[in-house]
């Protein structure tokens, strides 16, 4: 099994969730008229333990790491792009920076295992475990000790964000080859076939896709049963760090918004460590990667958006922020029938 961390995830606040449900029933609208916003507001109230919460202190943490499996030709881009994109994040030029600026969210980048060193930067957490994982087709991607360090790094980063002020966390990533690792994680934990969960990632052609599926199949055969020590056997340092972030945030009742396939694969790892983490997860969107929908179904999560995105970085998670705020603002700021002097019989 995955390493256990010294943290405790509190249960959802059933009283707050029930209070939110009762208030939804009294707002000036037909029952259920706000659709998924209503159920989302009830879930959020249960997560944070109160109705008057607003997600105004926002952060997106982008975890980066390289993968030895990139040597198998599973990506349309060379491994050096991981390093280059981290520099782009720190320079403010990536999609995550643009969207985070729009959503008034802080961007933090975590070097969990990039093949290259970075100068100090106020937005960078230097947490390199190793300059990339081993090739998961040849042996375990990392040692059990490294897997524990990756999880601990994420928990530490969550604590840093919380100390800086945090109400809502989006978790994103960067790492050439990591959709292969994520596909192996999804297949291992959900029991689905490699061909069902493996997609084009960075945009590989048909021949590369077949090679990628074969790589995932080889990894699963080599590490069978991969659902034991999944992170160490087929994971990535950035995936472990993301899982730790989710666990650390959930331990402090901070809602976590998932991004795409890799972010959601990290959620599967987090759920292996502490199943109750699932109660604090929100699916920002469902990407074009086939394994993403399968992983979300396993977690019991329904995505807020369907935009056919597959960029990563936390981009899709950020786009869900306004919906999360809208869910809580309508819950709190709409008048009830009594307050507005509106007859419930005439509503709608």
pLDDT digit string (tens) for 98-123? 999 999 999 999 999 999 999 999 99
Q: What letters, b where the CB count within 10 A reaches 16 and e where it falls short, cover 179-204? A: bbbbbbbbbbbbebebeebbbbbbeb
CA distance 218 to 169: 35
Beta-carbon contacts of 265 under 8 Å, excluding residues fewer than 6 positions away, are 181, 182, 183, 185, 186, 239, 291, 295
Same domain for 153 and 200, yes or no, is yes
Task: Tell me how many domains the chain contains.
Answer: 2
Report, as an integer, the average pLDDT of 85-93.
98
Q: Are residues 223 and 334 in the same domain?
A: no
Cα distances (Å, whole numbers) of residue 7 to 56, 233, 243, 296: 26, 23, 13, 24
Question: Which member of 2, 238, 289, 313 is catalytic?
Answer: 313
Angle at 96 between CA 93 and CA 102, to 5 degrees: 95
Do 303 and 189 share a domain, yes or no? yes
Same domain (yes/no): 312, 284: yes
Q: What is the CATH number of the domain that holds 22?
A: 1.10.1610.10
- Between strands 124-126 and 281-283, the pairing is unpaired
Residue 3 maps to a domain: no
What residues pair up with 58 in beta bridges, in sequence order?
105, 168
Judge whether 264 and 294 are in contact, CB under 8 Å. no
Quick one: pLDDT at residue 202? Answer: 85
- Regarding whether 100 and 162 lie in a shared domain, the answer is yes
2 belongs to a structural domain: no
Mean pLDDT value across the chain: 95
151 and 45 belong to one structural domain: no
User: Is 313 annotated as catalytic?
Assistant: yes
Structure tokens of 32?
């259920």
Give pLDDT tens digits for 269-297.
999 999 999 999 999 999 999 999 999 99
User: Based on the domain organization, do 226 and 296 belong to the same domain?
Assistant: yes
Residues 92 and 33 in one domain: no
Instruction: Note whether 144 and 223 are same-domain residues.
Output: yes
Shared-domain flag, residues 42 and 179: no
Domain identity same for 259 and 336: no
Cα–Cα–Cα angle for 299, 236, 90, nearest 5°?
A: 100
How do residues 31-64 score in pLDDT, each as one tens digit? 999 999 999 999 999 999 999 999 999 999 999 9
Which range marks the domain in which residue 47 is found? 14-53+329-346
């Amino acid at each position: 099994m995955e390493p256990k961390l010294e943290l405790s995830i509190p249960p959802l606040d059933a009283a707050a969730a029930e209070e939110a449900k009762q208030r939804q029933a009294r707002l000036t609208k037909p029952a259920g008229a706000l659709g998924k916003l209503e159920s989302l507001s009830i879930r959020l109230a249960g997560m944070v333990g109160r109705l008057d919460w607003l997600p105004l202190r926002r952060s997106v943490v982008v975890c980066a790491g390289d993968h030895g499996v990139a040597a198998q030709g599973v990506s349309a881009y060379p491994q050096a792009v991981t390093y280059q994109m981290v520099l782009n994040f720190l320079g403010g030029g990536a999609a995550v920076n643009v969207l985070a600026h729009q959503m008034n969210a802080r961007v933090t980048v975590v070097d969990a295992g990039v093949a290259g060193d970075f100068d100090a930067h106020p937005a960078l957490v230097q947490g390199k475990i190793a300059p990339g994982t081993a090739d998961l087709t040849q042996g375990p991607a990392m040692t059990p000790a490294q897997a524990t360090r990756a999880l601990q790094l994420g928990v530490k980063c969550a604590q840093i964000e919380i100390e800086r002020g945090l109400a809502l966390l989006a978790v994103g990533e960067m790492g050439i080859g990591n959709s292969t690792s994520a596909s192996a994680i999804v297949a291992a934990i959900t029991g689905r076939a490699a061909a069902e969960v493996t997609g084009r990632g960075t945009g590989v052609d048909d021949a590369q896709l077949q090679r990628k599926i074969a790589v995932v199949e080889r990894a699963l055969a080599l590490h069978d049963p991969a659902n034991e020590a999944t992170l160490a056997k087929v994971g990535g340092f950035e995936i472990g760090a993301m899982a730790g972030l989710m666990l650390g945030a959930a331990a402090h009742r901070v809602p976590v918004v998932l991004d795409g396939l890799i972010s959601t694969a990290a959620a599967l790892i987090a759920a292996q460590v502490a199943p109750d983490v699932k109660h604090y997860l929100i699916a920002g969107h469902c990407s074009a990667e086939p394994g993403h929908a399968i992983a979300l179904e396993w977690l019991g999560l329904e995505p807020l958006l369907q935009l056919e995105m597959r960029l990563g970085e936390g981009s899709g998670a950020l786009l869900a922020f306004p919906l999360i705020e809208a869910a809580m603002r309508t819950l709190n700021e709409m008048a009830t029938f009594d307050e507005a002097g509106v007859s419930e019989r005439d509503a709608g």
